[in-house]
Amino acid sequence: MADSQTAAPYTDFSAVMTGDKPFQLSGRPARYTVLYFYPKDNTPGCTTESIAFRDLHEQFQQAGTEIYGISRDSLRSHEGFKSKLGLPFELISDPEEAMCLQFGVMKMKNMYGKQVRGVERSTFVIDADGKLMKEWRGVKVPNHAEDVLEFVKSQP
């Protein structure tokens, strides 16, 4: 966990997201931004996590918080995933891993007995000045979205 007094702002970046909209880290009007990195669209854990954020979206909005999901999937894949799940927030496509590398979420993982490089499920809360407020790494999906919501609601 990092607090806002010591955490340096992230380097500003822009990316492409669903709805053909540009994402820019700076200049967001929200009090907080939740960036949740996940391995792959349409997989069981990523679907469950996205549904959890979807179901709490209105409460996040009431807490002045915007949510963005990020993976290396294409925009086309994201558009289908977003539509299939009825996600009310945008998904950011990071096929070149620029955001994944900036946030340090690329890890070697074991999959079916083989070492593969992939996204470690992680979530970051960033304030309106771009400062990291809290991070979760190696996220376990059950109750995670609730924990993130509890954190943003607990801020003064």
Q: What is the pLDDT of residues 101-127, one digit of tens each?
A: 999 999 998 878 888 899 999 999 999
Residues of the chain with pLDDT under 70: 1-11
- Tell me, what's the pLDDT at 45? 95
**What is the average pLDDT value for the chain, to the nearest integer?**
90
Predicted structure pTM score: 0.90
In angstroms, the CA 24 to CA 126 distance is 13
Output the pLDDT for position 10: 62
Q: Say which of 34, 35, 46, 119 is annotated catalytic.
A: 46
Ordered strands of the 32-37 beta sheet: 21-24, 14-17, 90-93, 65-71, 32-37, 122-127, 132-137
Predicted pLDDT at 15: 86
- CB atoms closer than 10 angstroms to residue 110: 8
Q: Rounded to the nearest 5 degrees, what angle is found at the Cα of 122, between the Cα atoms of 72 and 141? A: 105
Q: Where are the alpha helices (DSSP H) in 63-143?
A: 75-85, 98-102
CATH class of 29-154: alpha beta
pLDDT at 87: 98
Res 30: pLDDT: 78
Is position 46 annotated as part of the catalytic site? yes
> How distant, in Å, are the alpha carbons of 29, 97, 99, 106, 134 from that of 102?
22, 8, 5, 10, 16
> Rounded to an integer, what distance in angstroms lies between the CA atom of residue 12 and that of residue 15?
10
| pLDDT reported for residue 70 | 98
How is the chain split into domains, by residue range?
29-154
